[in-house]
Structure 1
Amino acid sequence: MSTISRRSLIQLAGLTGVGLTLSACAGPGTTTQPGGGAAGAVNLTGPVEGSISFAHWRGEDKAQFDSIIAAFVAANAGVEVRQDISPSNDYNANALQQIRQGTQGDLFAAFRGAQYESMVKASLFADLTKDGPTDKYVANLIGAGTTDGKQYGYPYQLVFNMPLINADLRAQAGYTANPKDWNGFLDLCEKLKSSGVVPIAWPGGEAGNAGQLFNAMVMNEAPSDDMCAQIEAGTMKVTDDWFLTVLRRYEELKPYFQPNATGTAVEPAQQMFASGQSAMLATGSYHMTSVRGLGATFGFDLIAPITTTADKAKYEGIHNATFILGVSTVSKNASTAFALLKHLSDPKAAGDYANGTSQHVTVKDVQYTNPDLLATAPWLERKTLLAPRFQFTNLDIRNAAEGAATAVVGGTSVDEAAASAQRIIDQRVKR
């Protein structure tokens, strides 16, 4: 699995047609549909005009996208752009069908992993290999939008899928930096708990966010970095010794989660963290803006539980390149959608997005000025693993593996939780 390259991220950070044509031959400025079927070609370089839909799940980014889109519209008279935004769980479940129907998503985003793969299989992504703005992106961070050597989309966000921590509360607990091993992490949690705060706010009742902690819990325990792909293939099992160790680590963390952690949605967890009732929010850097919006004034950092000893730890944390932007093959105005994609890929627009939303991006030559991005920028140069939970392409298998951890936190024994999850996985493993 890939890790963040220090050299490429120094470059990254810079921190100081309309419509579907039925012709069998694609002319200049057209792109054949993924899968190579007879559906024809999408015109990417036609007139920039008319109305388009931009479909995604980042409701918290709407205002910033509105501002960026306003500049695009000002430069292209007569163009209208509508944002179609759904909650992340709804988007994961429904976006493919909605985009395929053509009701939304001329330009659309996809989650890395299962959703991206299913959308490629459904031939929804226009092939951007020839005409796309690939040179605007850090090369080793856009692989999640590549299939069979073709660039179908551009991961826009560089996210750290690991807990946020209140740096002030960490310091008050006697830690000026993150613990380097499991005993140190438990000691930090115990000191935080003794001071009267909940060490970890974990949205265990919401699978999409609850599973982010899973990334860090497995990163230094698995025998290989492709552990989740191997679980899905049946070559590793959640009843293996290494995975049982992961579940025992969750069991050890149980006293440090908030009450009813397995029934907590993400919004209450965010509120606990923002108000200082909890020291950590076990989701990721993508929630920095939301937490600031809830009134948090303390300093942020990121922290990943190191579940082993310091000498055995391969990784310090987790990163992900996601929010894969693509142009729909069923769009009646693909050239305008493509023009908006190119606009978003410009370092100025990408910088406006990054600094306005507290999201690092994969676009080159972006200048970060946002204080939270600058505070978390050291993670750009640390050894972090590409989020392994998105190796799963079968969501039933992913939910079973991650659900075993939730079950343990809820009181199920480690062996029982693992066995129950493996039974589900065995039924779905590709033979």
Structure 2
Amino acid sequence: MSNQPPKAASYKVAFVLITSLFFIWAFLHNINPILIPHLKKACQLTDLQSSFIDTAVYLGYFIIALPAGWFMHKYGYKKGILFGLILYAIGAALFIPAASARSYNFFLVALFIIASGATFLETVANPYITKLGDKASSEQRLNFAQSFNGVGAFIAPIIGGQFILSGIEHTPRELQNFSPEQLNNYLSFEANSIKIPYMVITGVVLLVALFFVFTRLPEIVEEDIEDDGHGHKSFSLKIFRHRHVTWAVIAEFFYVGAQVGVGSFFIRFSRFTMGLPEKEAAYLWGFIAMVGFMLGRFAGTFFMRYVKPSKLLSLYAVINIVLLIIALMAFGKIAVYSLLAVPFFMSIMFPTIFALGIKGLGEESKIASSFLVMSIVGGAIIPPIMGQISDKTGSIQMAYIVPLLCFVFVLYFGWKGYKFVEPKTVVV
């Protein structure tokens, strides 16, 4: 018989299950670089149309984050997780009829539903992980769980490239020479290649949901928030009376924008500064930058045993600012490898900002979590700004001043913005 207290044992089981969710939503975000070229072929899209794949995902996060927080506030963590997994599975299953119809709009609806489910999972899992143990180690615990987000970031494009991309590419001139029947067969073949992978994804997500159904998760008892005078707890924008929540949302917005922007334009940056072919640049991003991102999560978890999370966050922000200054001023390998080093130091930022942003909130951490997840919309806003700068200046390198400025906001949060200050009570 184990000498371990039942509570500690149940926390370990819950931690393992919740950590699996981090991999699931990482898969969604990091399969998009595969879906964009694949659906561009299968549905005969322009580059602008194919970019709506990212739009569908980020829009899902932005629209669903608050409803997810309200749902969790009313029904609790476990039901929020189950609802999120069911939505995710429904969206993945819809890829099958979307492929049969070869309808891009259908694919976008399916992606929006998957993203909605992932929003529930992320809104629930991030704060729940911080509650499964000692408050003092909440940032370290969340960073460790987020390390498996890094694993998903590394594995998703490999699996997608292997089982979704056919490797068959025809020029527009070649397609024009196809008969209508040949063209239809080719496009149907490309569209249908997505069916089996998404059937597997649907099955895996439903299996994870079954584990949650039959597992008793520990109830997290949190302090009640103030009553509104009618027997209801307040659950509104009043969360922003906490200064550190406001700064966490701002920092998370700029961090996510920087993360997406740095990666989205890396291939073009490499061509501009070093003349690197796109396939080689993609290889470097996958096997150096994203592996570095994954390892950075595990390393950050270790470093937090000895360095306060806020100080480590500030240090990493400074390092990324320096790396981006080098990337802006240098050319050749120095510029490219400076940029490749950035993801290692980005790795701890999202979970650390998140954990510091909800610290000391009790029950209000649920609504704060919703706003922090909503801030992922930065990933839909910052990259177009970079694109605009590139178009105006003719230099994609110059556009990297935008993520540099984004990391200044992260630095401020780690320096001062994270500090919890008890809101003043107004006596009437």
- Give TM class, smaller chain: under 0.3
Which is richer in strand?
1
Higher helix content, 1 or 2: 2
**TM-score (normalizing by structure 2):** 0.24
Compute the TM-score of the two structures, normalised by the length of structure 1: 0.24
Which structure has more relative contact order (CA 8 Å, sep 6+)? It is 1
